[in-house]
């Protein structure tokens, strides 16, 4: 018998064993029955008072503002606490440029939710546009969707 015939015979034997074993499964012989018995009652959960409750997580607007503030602080070389957040407005941008397209770059044309953030340092205001993952400084902002 050649090696190919021996391998084929072994595979056929394994297939037959699995077929017989699956037919003899105890789960196949046990029918599933619905019961109307109520589930056992569990004791009421008691809070673990040894650890404080977690602080409320920041909102998307707070995260967007923090992204813009961190970027501006890095660009200006100043501490973030010297930057004032003037406003954070939710926006719908027409594409993934977030209303700040750069020449020579193609953007996916999909409505992109995000924020317009106005930050101030001294007497200068900076406009940032954010989505859920990035903040972009906008020198020539495009209008958002109506």
Tell me the domain boundaries of the chain. Answer: 1-31, 60-137
Which one-letter DSSP state was computed for residue 30? Answer: S
| pLDDT single digits (tens) 28-49 | 444 444 444 555 555 555 544 4
Which one-letter DSSP state was computed for residue 4? Answer: H
Phi-psi region of 77 (alpha: psi -120 to 50; beta: other; left: phi over 0): left
The pLDDT assigned to 14 comes to: 39
Residue ranges in the chain modelled with pLDDT below 50: 2-36, 47-49, 51, 53
pTM of the full predicted structure?
A: 0.58
Contact criterion met (CB below 8 Å) for 35 and 107: no
Contact criterion met (CB below 8 Å) for 68 and 117: yes
Contact criterion met (CB below 8 Å) for 119 and 86: yes
């Amino acid at each position: 018998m050649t090696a190919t015939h021996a391998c084929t015979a072994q595979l056929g034997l394994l297939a037959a064993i699995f077929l017989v074993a699956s037919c003899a499964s105890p789960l196949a012989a046990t029918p599933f029955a619905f019961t109307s018995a109520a589930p056992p009652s569990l004791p009421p959960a008691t809070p673990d008072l040894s650890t404080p409750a977690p602080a409320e997580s920041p909102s998307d607007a707070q995260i967007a503002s923090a992204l813009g503030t961190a970027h501006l602080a890095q660009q200006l070389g100043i501490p973030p606490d010297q930057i004032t957040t003037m406003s954070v407005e939710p926006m719908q941008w027409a594409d993934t440029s977030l209303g700040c397209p750069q020449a020579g770059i193609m953007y996916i044309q999909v409505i992109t939710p995000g924020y317009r953030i106005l930050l101030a340092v001294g007497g200068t205001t900076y406009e940032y546009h954010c989505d859920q993952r990035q903040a972009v400084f906008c020198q020539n902002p495009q209008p958002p969707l109506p």
